[in-house]
Chain A
Amino acid sequence: MWNAVIGLEVHARLQTRTKIFCGCAVSFGAPPNTQVCPTCLGYPGALPVLNREAVELAIRMAIATGCTIHHRSIFARKNYFYPDLPKGYQISQFDEPLATGGSVNGIRIRRIHMEEDAGKLIHHGDASHVDLNRAGTPLIEIVSEPDIRSAAEADAYLTRLRQTLMYAGVCDGNMEEGSLRCDANVSVHREGEPLGTRTEVKNVNSFRFLRAAIDFEIARQIQVLEAGGTIVQETRLFDPNSGETRVMRSKEEAHDYRYFPDPDLLPLEIEEEWIDDVRTALPELPAARVARYQNEHGLSATDAEILVTSREIAEYFDAAAAASGNARAAANWVRNDVLRIQNERGACRLSAEGLAQLIRLIDAGTIGSKAAKEIFDEIATTGEDPRAVVERKGLAQVSDPAVIREAAAKVIERNTTQVEQYRAGKTQIFGFLVGQLMKETRGKANAEMANAILKEMLGG
Chain B
Amino acid sequence: MNIDREEARRIAELARLDLDDDALVRMAAEMTKILTYIDQLREVDVEGFEEHTAEATPLRDDEPRPSLDRSSAERNAPQWTGGFFVVPKVIGGE
Which residues does A use to contact B, with CB under 8 Å? 16-18, 22-25, 31-38, 41, 43, 49-55, 75, 79-85, 90, 118, 121-132, 248-249, 256, 258, 265-269
* B side interface size, CB within 8 A: 34
Q: Is the interface of B mostly helix, strand, loop or mixed?
A: loop
Kindly provide the distance from the CB of B9 to the nearest chain A CB, expressed in whole angstroms: 13
B46 at interface by CB-CB < 8 Å: no
Contacts of A127 in B (CB 8 A): 86-89
Which residues does B use to contact A, with CB under 8 Å? 14, 16, 54-68, 70, 73, 76, 81-94
Which residue on chain B has the smallest CB distance to residue A268? B57
A50 contacts B58, C-beta separation under 8 Å: yes
Contacts of A54 in B (CB 8 A): 62
Q: How many A-B residue pairs have CB under 8 A?
A: 126
A38 contacts B56, C-beta separation under 8 Å: no
Contacts of B59 in A (CB 8 A): 49-52, 55
Q: Is the interface of A mostly helix, strand, loop or mixed?
A: loop
Q: Pull 13 A–B residue pairs with CB atoms less than 8 Å apart, ordered by A.
A: A17-B64, A18-B64, A23-B66, A24-B67, A37-B65, A53-B61, A81-B16, A82-B93, A85-B94, A129-B85, A132-B85, A266-B56, A266-B58
Contacts of B58 in A (CB 8 A): 49-50, 266
B14 contacts A130, C-beta separation under 8 Å: no
A35 contacts B56, C-beta separation under 8 Å: no
A130 contacts B67, C-beta separation under 8 Å: no
User: CB < 8 Å: which of B54, B61, B85, B88 contacts A267?
Assistant: B54
Determine the distance from Cα of A129 to Cα of B90 in the docked complex, in whole angstroms. 10
Contacts of B90 in A (CB 8 A): 82-83, 121, 128
B60 contacts A33, C-beta separation under 8 Å: no
A266 contacts B84, C-beta separation under 8 Å: no
Which residue on chain B has the smallest CB distance to residue A82? B93
Contacts of B14 in A (CB 8 A): 79, 256, 258
